[in-house]
Amino acid sequence: MGDTPRKPKKPQAVYTLLVEVGRKTGDGLPDGATGAALMCFASGVDEAEAVRETVAILKQADMAPLDVTGYGTLEERQAQGHEIGAEEAELMERALAENAVIVAQVTPFFDKA
């Protein structure tokens, strides 16, 4: 009993996620906004875990996640030719160190009526 070997823990990575949110009471978005796009950096053993954690945290923050687009890890993004600035790299390192979800940018949507 208790002698079962433990599976080695998969290393955490940081994933870049773009989350589209709708409106919800208390979401903190500006008056008149119909929703927003949130650029997030989230740690996880894989992208699916990073997405799950991000959605859960945004729901706790009274936001209404509608759609998530994953852009991969830092290495995957660099291989695709994305330029990663120092500030962005620093936020990614922080997400990894703190095992956290960091919302790096919020872009509200407004109707053009």
In a domain, 5, yes or no: no
In a domain, 1, yes or no: no
Q: Report the distance separating Cα 76 and Cα 46, nearest Å.
A: 13
Say which residue the tokens 């894989």 belong to.
46
CB-based contact 61:7 (threshold 8 Å): no
In a domain, 98, yes or no: yes
In a domain, 59, yes or no: yes
| Predicted structure pTM score | 0.87
46-104 pLDDT, tens digit each:
999 999 999 999 999 999 999 999 999 999 999 999 999 999 999 999 999 999 999 99
Q: Report the distance separating Cα 113 and Cα 102, nearest Å.
A: 32
Range(s) of the domain holding residue 42: 13-110
Structural domain count, the chain: 1
Select from 23, 65, 62 the least CA-distant residue to 40: 65
21-51 pLDDT, tens digit each:
999 999 999 999 999 999 999 999 999 999 9
In a domain, 2, yes or no: no
